[in-house]
Amino acid sequence: MASQKYWLMKSEALDYSIDDFAKDKRSDWHGVRNYQARNYMRDEMKNGDLILFYHSNANPSGIAGLGEVIRTGYPDFTQFDSKSEYFDKKATEEKPIWYMVDIQFKEKFSHFISLEELKRNKALQNMLLIRHGRLSVQPVEEKHFKIIQKISFAHGGK
């Protein structure tokens, strides 16, 4: 697929881990409250795009597996829910502010690729994750994705 893109999405492992994702099979990605991350989900993510599932605030942090976009951007329901920690009083059903996508579980890496390992890899020095660590949904260049895939293959990944 020529137009296929690659992304990295962060989840706090204590909150929602790759094992939770594997169990659910699919998940919506509610709760993102950063405009740049929202724009990627609302405007740029397409069905079939592949997702690196990243554990942040974890011990260690790193890439835990793979997912795939199966529903493009639509309003994040939690912005309308006054009981939700993600409630946004400025948002209305007519004018939603926050968007999310749905992703499907594909694979849990048999070899967890820690941030330390990513940083050590010379070919990944320019990866956005390394340069700009805080963005919770970010594009991944194809060459970087392929390298990560290769690392997974080298450790018996699918």
Of 5, 6, 10, 29, the one binding DNA (CB under 7 A) is 10
- What is the rounded CA–CA span in Å between residue 66 and residue 148? 11
Q: What distance in Å separates the CA atoms of residue 27 and residue 32, rounded to the nearest whole number?
A: 14
Do 4 and 143 form a contact (C-beta atoms < 8 A)? no
**Among the listed residues 23, 24, 26, 36, the single contact to DNA using CB under 7 A:** 36
Q: Minimum distance between the CB of residue 132 and DNA, rounded to whole angstroms?
A: 6
Name the segment binding DNA (CB under 7 A); options: 16-24, 57-65, 104-112, 148-156.
57-65
Stretch binding DNA (CB under 7 A), from 19-27, 40-48, 53-61, 105-113: 53-61
Residues 89 and 104: their CA atoms lie apart, in Å, by 30
| 116 lies in the binding site for DNA (CB under 7 A) | yes
CA distance 45 to 100: 10
Strand partners, 27: 103
Q: Which residues of this chain interact with DNA, rule CB under 7 A?
A: 10, 12, 33-36, 56-58, 60-61, 115-116, 119, 132-136
